[in-house]
Amino acid sequence: MIVDSFDDKSEAKINPKIRENRMKCDVCIIIFSYIIEQYILENFDCKKVGELKSVTLLNPVYSFEYKGRKIIFYKTHVGAPATVGFIEDITEQFDVKDFVLFGGSGCLDKEIAHGKVIVPTEAYRDEGTSYHYVKPADYIKIKNSDVVANFMKENNIPYIEGKTWTTDAFFRETINNFNKRKAEGCISVEMESAAAQAVCDFRGLNLYCFFTSGDLLDAPVWDDRKKNEELAGTQHDASHFDIALELAVSLKKEWLIWNIFKN
């Protein structure tokens, strides 16, 4: 069974091959939107510093400086296996521990406004990838949700915290499963966060994530909640990259506080 897949007693057949000359970076930002990727390339002094290779295409990795921090970013594929595979690949080429991931999500609560920032606190593991990285459980804790929520609060960015439902099969988000997840406190549904947190836990990395509240499942009929070609408040809203970027920079303060307590 899938819940029996976690094995910490034997070595993997394939492991990331860490390069000796890896580029050291402060933060890696993971995006999903090709429109946001274009926005970044047009508005920041980006330099291509690597590639993530897959059979379908080559995904470039870019770097730029912002407020004294060395940032890298790349556009990942939708879904848990691809997202996790690219996180594994990125650590081969780059010396980076902190990952900011953001994208769109379906909304399970009609009271949550379209476009509002959602900060996940736990993720229901309705996918397969996470079960190979951490012991089986229904939910995985999103460890740095308090850091992300505090950032939103300090910067007066409207947000809401709650559980999320990570699934591999968005065409099988059935009414019964929707009702179960909502009853448990899930306010969003997406395809990556449970697995992204699992790989970060396994590899000793730090994940900071948030979503954009998009289409609505909490309605008699599925509601896309956007007009044709609309970008504001959607997963293609470039202002959410600006949020991610400022969040990435703010982690410097978190590092300083952590080092003070450590020493």
* Structural domain includes residue 5: no
Domain that holds residue 69: 21-226+234-262
Q: Look up residue 210 and give its two tokens.
A: 């948030």
* Structural domain includes residue 209: yes
- Total domain count, the chain: 1
Q: Please, which residues have CB within 8 angstroms of residue 92's CB and are 6 or more apart in sequence?
A: 16, 17, 18, 19, 22
Does 136 have pLDDT greater than 80? yes
* Structural domain includes residue 2: no
Inter-axis angle of helices 193-203 and 80-93, nearest 10: 30
Q: What single letter denotes the amino acid at residue 201?
A: D
Quick one: pLDDT at residue 54? 81
* Structural domain includes residue 246: yes
- DSSP character string of 128-147: SGGGGTS---SEEE-TTHHH
* Structural domain includes residue 6: no
* Structural domain includes residue 16: no
* Structural domain includes residue 11: no
Name the nearest CA neighbour of 164 among 139, 136, 131: 139
Q: Cα separation of 88 and 82, whole Å?
A: 10
Mean pLDDT, range 196-220, rounded to an integer: 89
Q: Please, which residues have CB within 8 angstroms of residue 244's CB and are 6 or more apart in sequence?
A: 29, 31, 100, 102, 210
- Model confidence over 27-71: pLDDT tens digits? 999 999 999 999 999 999 999 999 998 888 889 999 999 999 999
- Model confidence over 137-193: pLDDT tens digits? 999 999 999 999 999 999 999 999 999 999 999 899 999 999 999 999 999 999 999
* Structural domain includes residue 70: yes
Q: What is the CATH number of the domain that holds 70?
A: 3.40.50.1580
State the pTM of this model. 0.91
Q: Among the residues of 57-171, which ranges form H helices?
A: 80-93, 145-154
Residue 261's pLDDT band (cuts 50, 70, 90): very low
Spacing of C-alpha 94 from chain mean position: 18
